[in-house]
């Protein structure tokens, strides 16, 4: 891409975001009740994210949203890199207006991941940097290999996080810890990430992070999909609004859950001391 006007850049971006289910930069691997979204840009050792990859992530999440058999999504990269964030070779030639549009496009895809109505786990094998970390922060949980490395690195090149890192990182590890990582752009190892609460579990380097994520999900993957969906909404939305409104939201969602077939099944099974047979309805 050559440098041009904001209008020309936006037209190019729009042409790259057409609909369709053919993916060039990621794969969906179905192993019900799990699905793995694997980002793996061929011939890109850093597994960067360009406008097309962001569009593919959004489209893949739309497919996942409509699949009733899926109970947990695992997001991962390749064996060496989760993602190092925005494709700077592409981004370096765009106008400020197009860069702002790119930020918004990424936020749309990442926001869709955060809003997904099932549990989500980032399985991180290696480098998780910049926008890659912002993507991982959209998941409910993060499982990391002991060889993984993390950095909110944008200030190293004179930028700030543009896909939600300034907002999500402090919510996960606290304001002071987040500001330090953002101010310095420093790289931290997996152990440090665990101590900060950035990741929930470490996996030996020789082990498969995706399989570890499935094991991590076992305690909840066989619960009612309806119950998990409403619980996630109560937590994710509840922390964004004043407490008195969050209380009301929780009560409303409790009421919605009470009307479900799964709630009736769960209560009757408990009284009969039987294992519930969830219908996810």
Determine which helix (DSSP H) or strand (DSSP E) holds 96, and give its type and residue range: helix 96-115
Q: Considering only CA atoms, which of 129, 161, 128 is closest in space to residue 143?
A: 128
Which residue from 27, 73, 25, 16 is spatially nearest to 49, judged by alpha carbons? 25
Write the DSSP assignment of 241-252 as a string of letters. Answer: S-HHHHHHHHHH
Residues 6+ apart with CB under 8 A from 161: 130, 131, 134, 152, 154, 169, 182
**CB-based contact 92:110 (threshold 8 Å):** no
Q: Could you give the CA distance from residue 182 to residue 173 in angstroms, rounded to a whole number?
A: 12
Cα–Cα nearest to 91, from 14, 183, 39, 13: 13
Active-site positions?
A: 134, 154
Q: Is the peptide bond before 33 cis (omega within 30 degrees of 0)?
A: yes
């Amino acid at each position: 891409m050559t440098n041009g006007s904001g209008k020309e850049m936006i037209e190019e971006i729009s042409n790259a975001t057409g609909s369709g289910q053919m993916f060039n930069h990621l794969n969906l691997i179905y192993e019900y009740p799990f699905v793995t979204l694997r980002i793996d840009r061929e011939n890109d050792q850093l597994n960067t994210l360009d406008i097309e990859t962001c569009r593919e992530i959004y489209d893949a999440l739309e497919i996942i949203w409509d699949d009733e058999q899926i109970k947990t999504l695992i997001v991962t990269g390749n064996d060496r890199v989760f993602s190092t964030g925005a494709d700077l070779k592409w981004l370096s030639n765009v106008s400020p207006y197009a860069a702002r549009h790119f930020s918004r496009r990424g936020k749309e895809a990442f926001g869709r991941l955060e809003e997904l109505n099932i549990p989500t786990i980032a399985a991180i094998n290696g480098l998780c940097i910049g926008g890659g970390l912002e993507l991982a922060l959209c998941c409910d949980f993060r499982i990391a290999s002991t060889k993984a490395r993390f950095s909110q690195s944008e200030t190293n090149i004179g930028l700030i996080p543009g896909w939600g890192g300034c907002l999500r990182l402090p919510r996960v590890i606290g304001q002071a810890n987040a500001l330090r990582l953002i101010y310095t752009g420093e790289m931290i190892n997996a152990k440090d990430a665990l101590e900060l609460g950035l990741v929930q579990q470490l996996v030996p380097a020789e082990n498969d992070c995706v399989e570890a994520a499935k094991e991590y999900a076992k305690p909840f993957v066989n619960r009612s999909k309806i119950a998990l969906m409403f619980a996630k909404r109560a937590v994710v939305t509840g922390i964004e609004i004043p407490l008195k409104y969050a209380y009301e939201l929780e009560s409303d969602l409790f009421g919605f859950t009470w009307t479900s077939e799964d709630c009736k099944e769960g209560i009757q099974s408990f009284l009969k001391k039987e294992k519930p047979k969830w219908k996810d309805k």
